[in-house]
Structure 1
Amino acid sequence: MLAGSYLLAVWTPQGQALENAALRGADQVSGQDFVSANVELHAITMVSLAALTLLVATIALVRRRVDLAVAGAGLIVLSQAITQLLKRFILPRPELVDAAGHAHNSFPSGHTTIALTVIFALILVVPYRMRGIMMFFAAPWALSIGAYTITAQWHRFSDTLGAMAVALLCACLSSWWLARRGRVVRYRGRTFRGRVILAVLIMGLTALTLAMGGLLWGAGFSRGIDFSAPDEVWDYNAYLGASVLSLGFAGLSILSFWGLWHRRDVAPAARSAGADTDSR
């Protein structure tokens, strides 16, 4: 996903033209939507990121699991380091089309990386019985940040997609590390119906937004629209497509990692590390 989004969107004239059109289309959003997006994004600072990382580590330490704190906090820190390294030093953005003020390199999105890694880290550290409540409050925020970056013209759709790939990679590495240490156990308690309903709602939203984005972008390509030429209607369609696709892929990413930890938890500190593990 990381390589594909980068190569298709950054290294092809068609990809650059489409995403630049989406940024032009964002000029048409209402003032209230633009302000709301900026408010949400400006709330993500180094201070708030440090506070969220501390929260993740604290939850793990309350469970008396230092290794879980390392996995959760390390997931956030590592993913942000990779994102910034890729964006600033490794992945260039060639000028293949007239960017009209949108030539800056922004792949991958640091804000999207933060949103997803925070919720992935919370999935790791929050006890299974409380995970559904956490998802109810955290998932809407994590789902929306990528779309907000497009509305505020901070990032392109491919930037959010690349960030999701980095976040998933680091989350899977943390999960693998915990499993290798024999810390992952099967949860044998009851099924939480509210959690099932929440998952189904996110699935429905994900399917709907992916379909809408595909139709919006597909209509332009099927008609042979030249997205490098400014056009209010097609620019706005490109923006809407980018926004809902970002929302849809965020939902897909969250569902994938949440599903990976379905009925899985980290063993309490008092239990034997080798008892009832799921690292087999």
Structure 2
Amino acid sequence: MVPARRWLVVAVVCAVAVVAVYLLAVWTVPGQELENAALRGADQAAARDQAVADESLSRITLYSLGAAVVLVGLVGLLRRRVALAVAAVGVIVAGQVVTQVLKRFVLPRPPLVEVTGHYAGNSLPSGHTTIAMTVLFAALLVAPYRWRGTTLFFALSWAVGIGAYTVTAKWHRLSDTLAADAIALGLACLASWWLARRGAVRRHDGPRRIPRVLVVTVAALGGAVFLALGTVLIGASLAGGGYADTVRDNTWVVYLAANSFASSGSIAAALVFLATWRRLETV
């Protein structure tokens, strides 16, 4: 039997990450000010970028979510693996249950800075980002080993784009997307742990798939570029004008940094999940 502890460890780390993101971004004045500055900076995004973001997010509906659930469940059943279908569907459904309960009933947003209207309410975690990431993880779970790289190629860019679009469209803050990434990853790891405990996971002894290696390498490089870009942008802004000037006058730069960090966070979550399944397949 494949040791299942790895998935529990990652799930615990994800839970800690959600708490850390929430406390730092929501319960501190600098956290709220920086994220509000990113929202104001998004106002300066090109009208075409905002339209694309709105259109992409609006395509995620109850019907499209239901279709995704049916599709991943059907793939699992066609592979004659009922447990796999249950695990994949459970990741998507549980993702929305956890996200909506946390956002609506558990996590308050204290009024630490002056803000009015829609932005005064709590929006952490992002439901749209959770949907995108859980669908990605569910697809990776049900995909046969030889198709995992292809699945990653098509689903990852969409999932990463949704996380970034939530910031561009001002539907969510950066912390909302990062928390959603962690929640989706944690739930996918719990599902993987459950499968492993049932003896439904085994080691893959076949040859390494070069296309998948290339996809993972490109994704890792992209994540590193986004992380470096966000760090350079926010670091240069803080060094050049100081914190007060940054949140007041450099909102465009703060938005660009937040957008980059959102993309790198989604890529990192996907790569961590893939790493836990390295050279493993479902029985």
Q: Same fold (TM over 0.5)?
A: yes
Question: What's the TM-score bracket when you normalise by the shorter of the two chains?
Answer: over 0.9
What is residue 152 of structure 1 aligned with on the other side? 169
What is residue 104 of structure 1 aligned with on the other side? 121
Matches within 5 A, 1:1-280: 1-101=17-117, 102-222=119-239, 223-226=241-244, 230-231=248-249, 234-267=250-283
Alignment partner of 2:242: what SS?
coil
Deviation, 1:40, is 0.6
What one-letter code is carried by the residue in structure 2 that aligns with 1:158? S
What one-letter code is carried by the residue in structure 2 that aligns with 1:110? G
Change in Cα spacing, 1:215 to 1:229, as seen in structure 2 (3 Å) is closer
Alignment partner of 1:71: what SS?
helix
Alignment partner of 1:230: what SS?
helix
CA distance in 1, matches of 2:30, 2:237: 12
Deviation, 1:250, is 0.6
* Structure with the larger helix share: 2
What one-letter code is carried by the residue in structure 1 that aligns with 2:248? P
CA offset digits 1:204-251 (Å, max 9, x no partner): 0000110111122223333422168632xx100010000000000111
What one-letter code is carried by the residue in structure 2 that aligns with 1:68? L
CA distance in 2, matches of 1:245, 1:109: 15
What one-letter code is carried by the residue in structure 2 that aligns with 1:216? L
CA distance in 1, matches of 2:52, 2:245: 27
What is residue 14 of structure 2 aligned with on the other side? none
Q: Structure 1, unaligned stretches of length 5 or more?
A: 268-280
Deviation, 1:191, is 1.3
CA offset digits 1:79-124 (Å, max 9, x no partner): 1100000000000001101125421210000000011111111111
What is residue 276 of structure 1 aligned with on the other side? none
Contact 2:85 2:142 in 1 (8 A): yes
What one-letter code is carried by the residue in structure 1 that aligns with 2:269? S
Q: Between Structure 1 and Structure 2, how many residues are aligned? A: 265
CA distance in 1, matches of 2:165, 2:190: 27
Contact 2:133 2:181 in 1 (8 A): yes
Q: Give TM-score scaled by structure 2 length.
A: 0.91
What is residue 5 of structure 2 aligned with on the other side? none
Q: Give TM-score scaled by structure 1 length.
A: 0.92
CA distance in 2, matches of 1:227, 1:38: 30
Query: Percent sequence identity over matched residues?
Result: 50
Alignment partner of 1:226: what SS?
helix
Contact 1:227 1:235 in 2 (8 A): no
CA distance in 1, matches of 2:210, 2:94: 34
CA distance in 2, matches of 1:193, 1:252: 21
Contact 2:53 2:169 in 1 (8 A): yes
Alignment partner of 1:225: what SS?
helix
Deviation, 1:30, is 0.6
Contact 2:84 2:142 in 1 (8 A): yes
CA distance in 2, matches of 1:75, 1:229: 37
CA distance in 1, matches of 2:133, 2:86: 17
What one-letter code is carried by the residue in structure 2 that aligns with 1:176? W
Contact 1:18 1:227 in 2 (8 A): no
Change in Cα spacing, 1:197 to 1:108, as seen in structure 2 (3 Å) is same
Alignment partner of 1:265: what SS?
strand
Alignment partner of 1:69: what SS?
helix
